[in-house]
Amino acid sequence: MAKIFTASCMSRSKESRPNKSKRDTVNESIRNSLAIYDVVKELQGGDRDLVRMSMHAMHKAALRATRSIYGVVLLTLLPVLGVSLIALTISWNTISIELYAGMVEALMVLTVVFQTCFAVVACCVWDASQFAAFIDTAVCLIVPFANWYWLGHYERNGVLAAADIATFSLVIGYMTARAWSMTVKPRHKAWRANNCSGITCLERLEMVWATRSASHISEILPDINAIWDQLVALWGEENARAVCRTSIYVTDTDERAVSLLKHELLNLSLYHAGCIQFARPDFGEIIESHSLDMITTRRNSYSVLAFCGSPELASDLHQLKINNDMVVAITGSKKHQTEFVSESYGGTKGKKTKGAIFTRSTVSTAVDVQGDNTESDTSPDPGDLSPTAEPTGLTSRELTTFQADPDHDSLSDAM
Amino acid sequence: MHWHPFSIASGPDASGLEFYIEVFKDIAWTGQLWHMLKKEGGNSGGTSLKQINIEVMGPYGTSSANTQKFSHALAIGAVTGTYNLLPIGVRQSLDDLAAHNLRLFLFFETTTGIVPALSLFKQHVRQLMRLDPANYFIELERHQEKVRRVERA
């Protein structure tokens, strides 16, 4: 209750602090929503009234966030109605038998309903900044006169002429096609940097690696560090951090291995930059921080949350992502979308594997499949990110200087 | 020797295929592979490695590296022993790789959940290395301004 009250007070005190930046305001709004959500989760099963009251607020906010989804579902009726209208009009106006009373009226009523719905969504819902919006407006202005013309034909002749049927099909067909295209178009707006060089790339990649094995870090981190150093050399550290971030969490319980790893990492720039932490990662906070960063620094974004790991952790992350999506939607930041991609090919985690033996020495080999083991291979282009830039042929390097504990579980999860 | 699934650690545009493979006991597949390459490579200084016939099937499975439509990526790797599946399918022999000027790196280390994220990381940095950092942020800001103008309109 205190948390909710505090959150409410924070919201109310917004006016009393007019010098707050937009970033602070958005941050505060999101934190408040999160606080309410946490309290509701904590109190479920406890104070029912308080939960009910808070849940009501949450449901109200969630309904607001999901309203657009209901709108899309309703919008699917428009193309169906349009196709039905065209089919009925062609059928009833070309059939040889006389039409029953009321059929023409029903057709015209349905036509007007369809056109009205189209006009409403075209003017009030769809993006008006596109060229097609002008055509929509023009069509909406024309159709009342067209309806009057077709109704006159019905009254005079009983049916439409072939040219009128074609015109009717053209107008309603356009509306149907437009409604269909707007219904099925992706709701996510990708924002991509199209550079003058024609290369499109992510604006920023954040790589998070959590592992329980210090020896894995010892083996792979030098490669990551080498790639990072190449990027820093070309872009500078500040710019490199703006476009690429790395966080590595080591949760190895073997103190000796961790100690030796720390000693090994002393020469790596990533370690000095604070990218390596010897603690458990809080994935919820990582996802939340990413969204917060997007909301406060960008107008729109389309992020991918790519995960590779155990199915259990994938499920947890998915849940965290959904929670985060809800908060983002509730706070009105619908222009910041996130998609979740998970790879869990390893199956479920089983018992600890015994007897896994690490090979201490590491050999990096490059098999030149063309057989031209020339000097040119050793001078990679700027895009060549192979950490083993030196080899073709066989080279060996000792990346690991410590002996792992034989009982150390090399296959354990990071979590 | 038989087919074995591994994650490809190199980015999609890389000129070589890189694998991170954890070597287990001698009787294990990875152990035998390790000894074979060590023996062949050690005896000939690496030149006889070219004689080893290696076939690569795939890649298969989900490609998390397909990031073209996204503006940002948060790649999380955790857990050991995850693989991009390489099931039975089209076989791409080493000769095919040669025809495409690809080099095959056999990097005997560990197979971990970081590999797909690492692949993404390498791909991203590879693309960044081709860009001019001075112009990159200017273009970025210019595009943002364009988005703002469209929204205002």
**B116 contact residues in A (CB cutoff 8 A):** 306, 308, 343
Residue A409 tokens, joined: 């579980």
Q: Is the pLDDT of residue A323 over 90?
A: no
Quick one: pLDDT at residue A350? 44
Residue predicted with more confidence, B33 or B106: B33
**Residue B27: count of CB within 10 angstroms of its CB:** 7
| Nearest CB to A366 within list B62, B80, B105 | B105
**A215 contact residues in B (CB cutoff 8 A):** 110
**B51 contact residues in A (CB cutoff 8 A):** none
Quick one: pLDDT at residue B95? 39
Chain A's closest residue to B101, CA to CA, is A370
Alpha carbons A309 and B6: distance in angstroms, whole number: 14
Alpha carbons B61 and B84: distance in angstroms, whole number: 6
Which helix (H) or strand (E) covers residue A10, if one does? helix A2-12
* CB atoms B80 and A415 under 8 Å: no
Residues A101-107 have a mean pLDDT of 86
**A360 contact residues in B (CB cutoff 8 A):** none
Quote the distance between the C-alpha of residue B10 and its chain's center.
2
The amino acid that residue B80 corresponds to is T
Collapsing DSSP states into helix, strand and coil, what is residue A338?
strand
pLDDT tens-digit map of A208-247: 888 888 888 888 888 889 889 989 998 888 888 888 888 9
Q: How far is B42 from chain A (nearest CA, A)?
A: 8
Which residue bears the tokens 């800001």?
B141
Residues B126-153 have a mean pLDDT of 78
Alpha carbons A110 and A87: distance in angstroms, whole number: 13
* CB atoms A303 and B104 under 8 Å: no
Query: What are the two backbone dihedrals, phi and then psi, of residue A303, each rounded to the nearest 5 degrees?
Result: -105, 150
Nearest by Cα to A414 from A217, A222, A206: A217
Give A37's pLDDT tier (boundaries 50, 70, 90): low
* CB atoms B103 and A369 under 8 Å: yes
Interface predicted TM-score (ipTM) of this complex, two decimals: 0.71
Residue predicted with more confidence, A129 or A382: A129
Query: Which of A26-40, A78-92, A307-321 has maximum average pLDDT?
Result: A78-92
Q: DSSP secondary-structure letter at A101?
A: T
**B101 contact residues in A (CB cutoff 8 A):** 370
Give A411's pLDDT tier (boundaries 50, 70, 90): very low
Q: Is the pLDDT of residue B93 over 50?
A: no
Q: Percent of chain A scored above 70 by pLDDT? A: 63
Residues A96-104 have a mean pLDDT of 81
Quick one: pLDDT at residue A139? 92
Chain A's closest residue to B110, CA to CA, is A216
Q: Is the pLDDT of residue A161 over 80?
A: yes
Give A345's pLDDT tier (boundaries 50, 70, 90): low
Give A352's pLDDT tier (boundaries 50, 70, 90): very low
Domain extent listing, chain A: 76-184
Q: Is the pLDDT of residue B88 over 70?
A: no
Residue A326 tokens, joined: 């809800």
Alpha carbons A136 and A347: distance in angstroms, whole number: 52
Q: What is the pTM of this model?
A: 0.56
The amino acid that residue B89 corresponds to is G
Residue A411 tokens, joined: 């296959």
Interface test with chain B among A247, A365, A372, by most B beta carbons within 10 Å:
A365
Q: Is the pLDDT of residue B28 over 80?
A: no
Q: Is the pLDDT of residue A275 over 70?
A: yes
Quick one: pLDDT at residue A142? 92
Q: How far is A373 from chain B (nearest CA, A)?
A: 9
Alpha carbons A79 and A260: distance in angstroms, whole number: 66
* CB atoms B113 and A309 under 8 Å: yes
**A201 contact residues in B (CB cutoff 8 A):** 124, 127-128, 131
Interface test with chain A among B39, B79, B123, by most A beta carbons within 10 Å:
B79
